[in-house]
Amino acid sequence: MSTITEIVDVEVPVSTAYNQWTQFEEFPQFMEGVEEIRQLDATHTHWVTRFGGVTREFDATITEQHPDERVAWTSDSGPDHAGVITFHRLDDSHTRVTAQMDIDPEGFAENVADKLGVLDRRVKGDLKRFKEFIEQRGHETGGWRGDVDRPGR
């Protein structure tokens, strides 16, 4: 299993960055290889991804979510991965977005990509494209402000 950590500072308020990140169905606009995400309910999503010519579908569960602070998830099926995105207010108009993901690559292409650092660069590129996406818009496309507590809390 590999751990990837990437950080990007965006020039929008923390609530704008957070609200946009809760719009999972918009991810294909800035995430490489993400073909589609369907929000099934408040804590479940269905993903369709494409990497190295291979299409994969899987479900994921949001395990923790707190407005303007964090969104954490784990996969339920398919590629084994989990992660957390945190949002840190730098000032009224700047936010630091940190992505930390644990990924267990599935298949030959994903394992080679992991060993060569391709997955790290992809996450870095995704955050850069998120920055461009939200800064060009200047506002979020929507938002979900509900709380999801970590299981056992």
Mean of the pLDDT values across residues 147-151?
83
Which structural domains are found in the chain, ordered by start? 2-137 (3.30.530.20)
pLDDT at 147 over 90: no
- How does DSSP classify residue 83? E
pLDDT > 90 in the chain, percent: 67
Structural contact between residues 95 and 17, judged by C-beta atoms closer than 8 angstroms: yes
pLDDT for position 116? 64
Please report how the helices 14-21 and 118-137 are oriented relative to each other, as an axis angle in degrees rounded to 10. Answer: 120
Distance CA 142, CA 101 (A): 24
Please report how the helices 118-137 and 108-115 are oriented relative to each other, as an axis angle in degrees rounded to 10. Answer: 80
- The better pLDDT of the pair 112, 120 is held by 120
- How does DSSP classify residue 105? -
For residue 119, give Cα distances in angstroms to 21, 96, 105.
Answer: 20, 21, 9
Mean of the pLDDT values across residues 1-19?
94
pTM as predicted: 0.90
Residue 27 has a CB neighbour count (10 Å cut-off) of 18
pLDDT at 107 over 90: no
- The better pLDDT of the pair 153, 54 is held by 54
Pairing of strands 44-51, 54-66: antiparallel
pLDDT digit string, tens, across residues 28-70: 999 999 999 999 999 999 999 888 788 889 999 999 999 999 9
